[in-house]
Amino acid sequence: MKEIDERARGVAVESAAGSGAVLVIGAGSAIARAISARFAAAGHDIILAGRGLDDLRATAADLKIRYNVRTAVLPFEALDFEGHGGFFKSSATQFESGLFGVVVCHGMMPSQAEAQKDWEIARRTIDVNYTSAVSILNLAAEYFQSRKAGFLCVLSSVAGDRGRQSNYLYGSAKGALSLYLQGLRQRLAKAGVRVVTVKPGFTDTAMTWGLPGMFLVASPEKVAEDVFRGVNKGKPTVYTPGFWRVIMFIIRSIPEAVYNRMKL
């Protein structure tokens, strides 16, 4: 948190403090906690949603003391589709100012070997990473479109830019999510609502701990800073760290005949 504290003193005015709360869904991950701290440092009230409520309450208490903002904690189950409407309504009415933005961080990444052999794991991977995100974003889109302001920021992945044999089930869900966000961005642009797709590369989190082939690993704080600046600047797509934009351009440009012989 020290890095975020130091930056906050100089750039808190970048994000309109007091203009509404930021809802962070899947708030228990390292990246989500860093993102929550970054927006709290800019003066936004924070709503943390997810599982593991005791941990979320501890994070909320820390943010409240550290940044002097209001916080709230709500339970969120990605696959409880029928409960998403009530969840979002509760989120939007936690504070009188309503929501300034929503950051969707929840996801799961099982091993490709498990997912391709077990349909239940494959289906859950798709539903958690794609279907549940669409369910929430459809609700959020209606809310912000009616207000003609705000932002939606969603963590997709560089894995969705091109299918790789080592994680194509996870990557396909993230690729579908990125495509959905493209259309949503076009729809909401007319209402002045920003839709930001974030594509992190390898990040030092519990989800990626111990995975083979990790390189150029970024900290959650670096990702959070890129997310914050991307939202403020209204960037449609944020690769984080930025060099992943070049890496993925190269990977997308490899001819299929060559690509199929590569071990990726």
**Which DSSP string corresponds to 157-186?**
-GGGSS--TTTHHHHHHHHHHHHHHHHHHH
- E-assigned strands of 36-188? 46-50, 71-75, 99-104, 151-155
User: Among all chains, which residue has been given the structure tokens 């949503």?
Assistant: 184
Q: For residue 119, what is the domain's CATH number? A: 3.40.50.720
Range of the domain at 155: 2-259
* Number of domains present in the structure of the chain: 1
Read off φ and ψ for residue 111, nearest 5 degrees: -70, 145
**Per-residue model confidence (pLDDT) at position 201:** 87
The pTM of this model reads 0.88
Read off φ and ψ for residue 188, nearest 5 degrees: -85, -10
In this predicted model, what pLDDT tens digit does every residue of 161-203 receive, in sequence order? 999 999 999 999 999 999 999 999 999 999 999 999 999 987 6
What is the phi-psi region of residue 98: left when phi exceeds 0, alpha when psi lies from -120 to 50, beta otherwise? left
**Per-residue model confidence (pLDDT) at position 154:** 98
**Per-residue model confidence (pLDDT) at position 15:** 44
In this predicted model, what pLDDT tens digit does every residue of 103-120 receive, in sequence order? 999 999 999 999 999 999
Determine, yes or no, domain membership for 230. Answer: yes
On whether the CB atoms of residues 38 and 4 are closer than 8 A, the answer is yes
What is the C-alpha to C-alpha distance for residues 101 and 147, in angstroms, rounded to an integer?
Answer: 11
Percent of the chain with pLDDT over 70: 88
Determine, yes or no, domain membership for 145. Answer: yes
Determine, yes or no, domain membership for 216. Answer: yes
**Per-residue model confidence (pLDDT) at position 63:** 98
On whether the CB atoms of residues 174 and 163 are closer than 8 A, the answer is no
On whether the CB atoms of residues 132 and 107 are closer than 8 A, the answer is no
Determine, yes or no, domain membership for 264. Answer: no
**Per-residue model confidence (pLDDT) at position 217:** 60
Determine, yes or no, domain membership for 241. Answer: yes
**Per-residue model confidence (pLDDT) at position 202:** 77
The model's confidence at residue 7, banded by pLDDT at 50, 70 and 90, is very low
Determine, yes or no, domain membership for 178. Answer: yes
Q: Spell out the residues 6+ positions from residue 133 whose beta carbon is closer than 8 angstroms to its own.
A: 104, 106, 154, 177, 180
Please determine, for residue 259, whether its predicted confidence score (pLDDT) is greater than 90: yes
Average of per-residue pLDDT values in the chain: 90
Query: Which residues does residue 199 pair with via DSSP β-bridges, in sequence order?
Result: 239
